[in-house]
Amino acid sequence: MKENARILVVDDEPQLRRVLRTGLMSRSYDVRAAADGLTALDTFNDWHPDLVITDLAMPNMDGLELCRRLRAISQVPIIVLSAKGEEQTKVEALDIGADDFVSKPFGIDELLARVRASLRRAARPVTNGAVLTVLEAGDFRIDLESRNVTVNGREIHLTPKEFDLLTYLMKHAGKVLTHRTLLTALWGGNYVEQNEYLRVFVGNLRKKIEIDASGPRYLLTEPWVGYRFDPGA
Amino acid sequence: MGLRRWLSYLVAAFSIAALTTVLKLLGAHVNATTVALVLLLDVLLIATRWGSLPALAASVLAMLCFNFFFLPPFGTFIIAAWDNWIALAAFLITAITAGQLSARAKRRAEEAEVGRREIERLYSEMQDAFKLASHAEALKQSEKLKSALLDAVTHDLRTPLTAIKASITTLLDEIRGRTKTEPLVALDAESRLEMMEVIDEESDRLNRFIGGLIELARIEAGEMQLRRRWGAIDEIISAALLRAERFTRDHNVHVVIERELPVVRVDDRAVSEVVYTLVENAAKYSPAGTSIHISAQRGGEGLIQMSVEDRGTGVPVELRDRVFDKFFRATRDGDISTHQPSGTGMGLAIAKGIVEAHDGRIWIESGADEKGTRVVFTLPIGDEDPAEMLKTSVAGNVKT
């Protein structure tokens, strides 16, 4: 059996560190905990965890700064724990490069699900250098050369922008993508405030890929934050 | 206004006519110079009272009367002597000039009055506006404060809730045996116990927090009912130390109480709460094995001064006022290695409320050798009523 995945938990609340350590260890993860961002960076450098779970409000370097520092040195998946009232900070964390978030208070199963998804995504083979011609995940298959897209074997026709959007979503499946991230990726930095562009394209794309566009299964809305793409089983 | 103006001309004309008549009746007793001066005086009065135009009219009329009745040949407008021409001209010019001058002075005075009123009005308007603005500013500040407090409260409520929720779902997961994707390693007895301990401790923390909130709200609403009675400081301190025992086990606690300290008229339970809070803080924020000093002594006229001192890291000078703000915590946790639940951020705020309700004062200074923290507070000994003092202290003795 392969080595257990290592998870670094960063929270200034001792009780939450206790609970997360126990909860995660019961699922065979190796866990270490840090009480603030600075300690977390030290542990990260020594221990090289596979995933970081961090609180946002902490003394001695908050979660936001920790995300920034981690992204500067690593692509490790980061899940932020956020509370209501910290939405702005949460979005900033995601913009900086955090992969996902869980809102407090949370059930351990919800956190575990996010942990699994993030680890899966990180484990996907990185296609360094090799030219990727076909993206396949869940119910979706995108042929980047012929621009042929199928959902569950059913061929769909997309406009060039919709195609770009879906390709981007596929490449970042499972990850929470903020409005800003998507707008920058698809239209460039001048359009970061134009959320309505995005809404229109997401709406159109849903009509084509979803069975029920008003109850989407694949292209999910993260209220006030952005979107998450779940390619299905 | 029109009526008033006609009246002024009428009065002017009448007064000149009346004076002329009186002067004429006096006949030989007055000479021309006296007549001229008297008429001039009248013109001046008219100018001061009615302004320049009636004064001008009066001076022309006065000149005519002077000429007709008092300059020879009498009864005609003919002037015989050449020097009388000069006198008449001088009269007219003086009358007009005096009239103009006094009218101008009057106008100035009126303008000044209008100006003064305007300034007064502007000033009061400005004051109103200022009041309004500072009121709005105060409101804004208090709104800001409120939302900051709300943030703090929700954080302090949600943190224990998060720990409870995560613990209980971990336990539930195991019981339900949900092994969806990854193998669930059964929780060992120790982990299970730990989860339950967390739930227990965090529910207590929630309860403490809510209790503190209620206490604070009472103090802030000024509803704190002090049950003052005469009591001894050493009893108050020992009651507090007894309660705080579980925190101070690993510390060396020293109590120094000045001898023959008078009894104080305070709410002993509330003051004991203050001492308890300070001792608990001292124990929480200083390493095990260090000492905590508690002292009580006379502190100036009619005051008892008490202090609790630790050998911890101390409170930076710039935070010494803020630690008394509700929900403010200099450090968010106790020692990280201990599983000490963190404070509610309300203890010192409540302590301050209690001390101030007794008309006392509370502050923080550095401990001996500039190390650690010393929290000092004063309490007035109480109403000096020896008879009652004797009575209650006797009653107290009987009770004990």
Q: How confident is the model at residue A5 (pLDDT cuts 50, 70, 90)?
A: very high
Q: If we measure between CA atoms, which residue out of B34, B38, B55 comes closest to residue B46? A: B55
Q: Is B184 on the interface with A (CB under 8 A)?
A: yes
Instruction: Please give the structure tokens belonging to residue B176.
Output: 């339900």
Q: What's the rounded Cα separation, in Å, for the pair B326 and A34?
A: 27
Distance from CA of B129 to the nearest CA of A (A): 35
Amino acid identity, residue A75? Q
pLDDT of residue B324: 85
Residue B166 to residue A108, Cβ atoms within 8 A:
yes
Q: List residues of chain A with CB under 8 Å from any CB of chain B.
A: 12-16, 18-20, 22-23, 25-28, 35, 57, 59, 81, 83-85, 104-109, 111-112, 116
Residues A10-50: pLDDT tens digits?
A: 998 889 999 999 999 888 899 999 999 999 999 999 999 99
**Domains of chain B with CATH codes:** 2-123 (no CATH), 149-178+185-220 (1.10.287.130), 229-399 (3.30.565.10)
**Measured distance between the N- and C-terminal CA atoms of chain A, rounded to whole angstroms:** 24
Side chain identity at residue A160, one-letter code: P
- C-alpha–C-alpha distance, residues B14 and B17, integer Å: 5
Burial status of residue A67 (CB atoms within 10 A of its CB: 0-12, 13-18, 19 or more): buried
Please give the structure tokens belonging to residue A46.
């020594």
Task: Name the percent of chain A lying above pLDDT 70.
Answer: 95
Q: Do A16 and B336 touch (CB under 8 A)?
A: no
How many other CB atoms sit within 10 Å of the CB of residue A157? 10
Count the helix, strand and coil residues of chain A and give each as a percent rounded to the nearest 5: 40, 20, 35
8 Å CB contact of A13 and B194: no
CA distance B112 to B101: 16
Strands (E), A111-190: 134-137, 140-143, 148-151, 154-156, 176-178
Cβ–Cβ < 8 Å for B381, B304: yes
**Paired residues of A34 in beta bridges:** A10
Q: What are the strands of the beta sheet with A30-34, ordered from one edge?
A: A30-34, A6-10, A51-55, A78-82, A100-103
Distances (CA, A) of B394 to A184, B265, B398, B400: 82, 14, 6, 10
**C-beta of residue B84 within 8 angstroms of C-beta of residue B71:** yes
Domains of chain A: 6-123 (3.40.50.2300), 134-229 (1.10.10.10)
Token pair listed for A15 = 């009780």
pLDDT tens across the length of chain B (400 residues): 578 788 888 888 888 888 888 888 887 777 878 888 888 888 888 877 777 778 888 888 888 888 888 877 777 777 777 777 777 777 778 777 877 787 788 788 888 889 889 888 888 888 888 888 888 877 777 777 677 667 777 777 888 999 999 999 988 888 877 555 556 667 788 889 999 999 998 998 888 888 888 888 887 777 777 788 888 898 899 989 988 888 888 999 999 999 888 888 888 888 988 999 999 889 988 888 999 999 999 988 889 999 999 998 888 888 888 888 777 765 544 333 333 445 667 788 888 888 988 889 999 988 877 788 899 999 998 765 544 444 444 444 433 3
- Under an 8 A CB cutoff, do B158 and A109 touch? no
In chain A, the largest separation of any two C-alpha atoms, in whole Å, equals 54
B204 touches chain A (CB under 8 A): no
Interface check B167 vs A, CB under 8 A: yes
Q: What is the pLDDT, as a whole number, of residue B375?
A: 93
Q: Residue B195: list chain A partners with CB under 8 A.
A: 19, 22
Within an 8 Å CB–CB cutoff, is residue B201 touching chain A?
yes
Q: Residue A222's beta-bridge partner residues?
A: A226
HEC letters along A53-96: EEECCCCCCCHHHHHHHHHHHCCCCEEEEECCCCHHHHHHHHHH
Mean pLDDT calculated for residue range A171-190: 87
Up-side HSE of residue B70: CA atoms within 13 Å toward CB? 31
Query: How many Å lie between the alpha carbon of A12 and the closest alpha carbon of chain B?
Result: 8
Q: Which residue of A has its CA nearest to B186?
A: A26
Using CA atoms, how far apart are residues B265 and B392, in angstroms rounded to an integer? 10
CA distances from B43 to B54, B104, B134 (A): 9, 14, 55
Strand A78-82 relative to strand A100-103, pairing: parallel
CA–CA gap between residue A185 and residue B255 (Å, rounded): 68
* Beta-carbon count within 10 A of B390 CB: 11
CB B66 within 8 A of CB B34: no
Q: Is B357 helix (H, G, I), strand (E, B) or coil?
A: helix
Say whether pLDDT at A69 is over 90: yes
* pLDDT value, residue B338: 37
Q: Do A26 and B184 touch (CB under 8 A)?
A: yes
Count Cβ–Cβ pairs < 8 Å, chain A vs chain B. Answer: 104
Residue of chain B with shortest Cα separation from A26: B185
Helix, strand, coil abundance in chain B, percent, nearest 5? 65, 10, 25
Comparing alpha-carbon positions, the chain B residue that sits nearest to A16 is B163
Select from B159, B160, B336 the Cβ nearest to the Cβ of A35. Answer: B336
Q: What is the pLDDT of residues A74-105, one digit of tens each?
A: 999 999 998 876 778 889 999 988 999 998 88
* pLDDT number for residue A72: 92
Residue B158: its pLDDT value, please? 86
- Of B335, B206, B302, B73, whose CA–CA distance to A12 is shortest? B335
Q: Does B146 touch chain A (CB under 8 A)?
A: no
* Facing residue for B187 by CB, picked from A18, A26, A28: A26
Query: Is the confidence at residue A130, as pLDDT, over 70?
Result: no
Residue B68 is predicted with a pLDDT of: 83
